Structure 1
Amino acid sequence: MNRVKQLPNGVWPTMITPFTENNEIDYASLGKLIDWYIERGVDGLFAVCQSSEMFKLSLEERVALAAFTVERSAGRVPVIASGHISDAMEDQIYELQAISKTGIAALVLITNRLASEDESDEVLKNRLEELLQHLPKELPLGFYECPAPYKRLMTPELLRWCADTGRFQFLKDTSCDVEEIRAKVEAVSGTGLKLYNANSATLLETLKLGAAGYSGVMANFHPELYVWLVKNFQQFPAEAQLLSDQLSLASFIERQVYPVNAKYHMMLEQVSSNYLSRTRDASQFHATNRLEVEQLHRLAKHWRSQFPGV
């Protein structure tokens, strides 16, 4: 089992899913990928998320992906997972119950699955109350403000209500707004619910405000730099500011063909053999895109040499 009493602060990569030429999950490459993250000092792994292409995975694949990640991590770091993608609540309950049995340390709920864009927070809260009755009480829960199919941000008030249930420990925040994150951190202060920022540009400022760490796509490129920032921003403020500036500029690579570009980066790291994707057309990833990833790959190596202990 992958259970922990409290999820640790730090860096939680949103894992990508390698595929074979036959469009099946490439478990050999996935095993290397898990080792790659852990060797770079991450504090946990977020499997079966949007970066994992969960909306294009069958339930059987989502369950297998979570279970494999738990097994391969072998207790070295905790693993959390999401994976409820259906519209109907009864179908989501079935999906979440299946994922909950894989040995994960926490089960992450996707906020936009709990209410439609035109429905109120009260509707979302009522559905949460129903959902909590069907999920294992001993399994910690989390939230993911997934951008697709639409981004639904948690309000500080709703977050506090969730924190007071004692069942939530994790929020992957995608607001990209320092003041909004400040309000959320203050709302859950003194509870077991922690906020992990997905945005590079606002990360350093929100760490100063009490954010617990980073959970974003750029941990698929140079997670060790985020690990250094989270662990050392107080002790080395000038160096942390420089690194934050560099990471913010580097994160512009997200605007390419993601997650294809992250998969190409893993090819450069000799983790996988292709950059095939179910969510994006790999043929759109052209020669200049590849060159940009190669340049970032070289830059990250240089940046590592600038910061003690990376």
Structure 2
Amino acid sequence: MAKFNGVYVALVTPFTEENQVDYEGLKNLCNWLIEEGVDGLVPGGSLGEYATLTIEERTKVVETVIEVANGRVPVVVGTGAPSTAQAVQWAEHAKIHGAAGIMALPPINYKPIENEVIEHYRALSEVGIPIIAYNNPKDYPTDLTPDLLAEISKFKNVVGVKEFSGDVRRIQEILHKTDLEVMVGVDDLVVEGALVGATGWIAGVPNALPKEGVEIFQLAKEGKIKEALELYQYLLPLFRFDANPQLVQSIKYMLELAGRPVGSTRPPRLPLSTEQYQKIEEAFKYFKKQTV
């Protein structure tokens, strides 16, 4: 049985009008997501704008989410950092404060060679906390191929992978070559991913539509293809926004449309154009109209 089953929301970080972290807003978001039925929470990821947070802010974000979850759902903490030593520190912090696991990128500042990637995960595994390797070759220089994952999976604490390559065929190959559990990493392949063996989904758009996210993933996992596809056709235009570089601005705007505003993004992420916001709003209204 997979350790990280179901829908884990990759949390956005709410900001105030003064662009400070809104910890009360973060608490409210976490409570609402849990009440809506999500299976887990993931602070400190790319969607959470971890790279723009100070050490103090990032520390408090992680501790706030774990405190609010209070054992109701597992918390998996993102550990992306410029050096292996820093990533290990974030992993140790997550372990000390009771996280269920970490979501760990490979080295992010340059294109490492294979043995450097392997040693990076060896160091993280030695912390003694379950690890979901994060493969995102769209935004970072390393592609955790199935063959490379087969090497990384030899470490005791590497138990899963968030697969964000956009190639759904990877899932079957990973399952064939490793004993890792696979979590869908890009929203617009969630149905396909569940149908070919993914047991979890680290999700973006369900920040704003958690109940619908849980429903569609469960339908797909249960093989209820007709029902899943009926919902998918209405959600897919929104899910597409998770697969582009402006996903943070897009999903934060979806939260505003859902009546749960979380503020803007921090530079270098800037507001989108009026035309881009209109496209998101149209997709959101289309979904709402079809599901009333």
Residue 171 of structure 1 contacts residue 195 of structure 1 at CA under 8 Å; is this kept in 2?
yes
TM-score normalised per structure 1: 0.83
Residue 67 of structure 1 contacts residue 102 of structure 1 at CA under 8 Å; is this kept in 2?
yes
Q: Secondary structure at the match of 1:76?
A: coil
Gaps of 5+ in 1: 306-310
**2:16 corresponds to 1:9:** no
Give the superposition deviation at 1:41: 1.7
RMSD of the alignment, in Å? 2.6
Residue 11 of structure 2 contacts residue 43 of structure 2 at CA under 8 Å; is this kept in 1?
yes
Find 2:165's aligned residue among 175, 185, 188. 175
Gaps of 5+ in 2: none
CA distance in 2, matches of 1:202, 1:94: 32
Find 2:281's aligned residue among 268, 273, 294. 294
**2:273 corresponds to 1:250:** no
Q: 1:274 to 1:116 in 2, by over 3 A?
A: closer
Q: Deviations over 1:122-181 (max 9, x none)?
A: 232133324433x1x2x2112112457524222223323333433123311111112222
CA distance in 1, matches of 2:170, 2:2: 24
Q: Deviations over 1:260-283 (max 9, x none)?
A: 23222222333236324344112x
Residue 67 of structure 1 contacts residue 103 of structure 1 at CA under 8 Å; is this kept in 2?
no
Q: 1:53 to 1:132 in 2, by over 3 A?
A: same
Q: 1:155 to 1:273 in 2, by over 3 A?
A: closer
CA distance in 2, matches of 1:247, 1:269: 14
**2:114 corresponds to 1:121:** yes
Give the superposition deviation at 1:86: 1.9
Q: Deviations over 1:211-232 (max 9, x none)?
A: 1122132223323222112212
User: Which residue pairs with 1:74 in the alignment?
Assistant: 70
CA distance in 1, matches of 2:69, 2:196: 31
Residue 4 of structure 2 contacts residue 200 of structure 2 at CA under 8 Å; is this kept in 1?
no
Which one-letter code corresponds to 2:230 in the other structure?
A: L
CA distance in 2, matches of 1:17, 1:171: 23
CA distance in 1, matches of 2:52, 2:134: 18
Q: 1:290 to 1:130 in 2, by over 3 A?
A: closer
What are the equivalent positions in structure 2 for 1:1-310 lying under 5 Å apart?
A: 7-87=3-83, 89-113=84-108, 116-117=110-111, 119-133=112-126, 135=127, 137=128, 139-146=129-136, 150-188=140-178, 191=179, 193-233=180-220, 234-254=222-242, 255=244, 257-272=246-261, 274-282=263-271, 285-305=272-292
Q: Deviations over 1:230-263 (max 9, x none)?
A: 2122352212123333333332334484312322
Aligned sequence identity (%): 23
**Number of matched residues?**
290
CA distance in 2, matches of 1:149, 1:301: 31
Q: Secondary structure at the match of 1:81?
A: strand
Give the superposition deviation at 1:67: 0.8
Give the superposition deviation at 1:184: 0.8
CA distance in 1, matches of 2:138, 2:189: 21
Which one-letter code corresponds to 1:249 in the other structure?
A: P
TM-score normalised per structure 2: 0.87
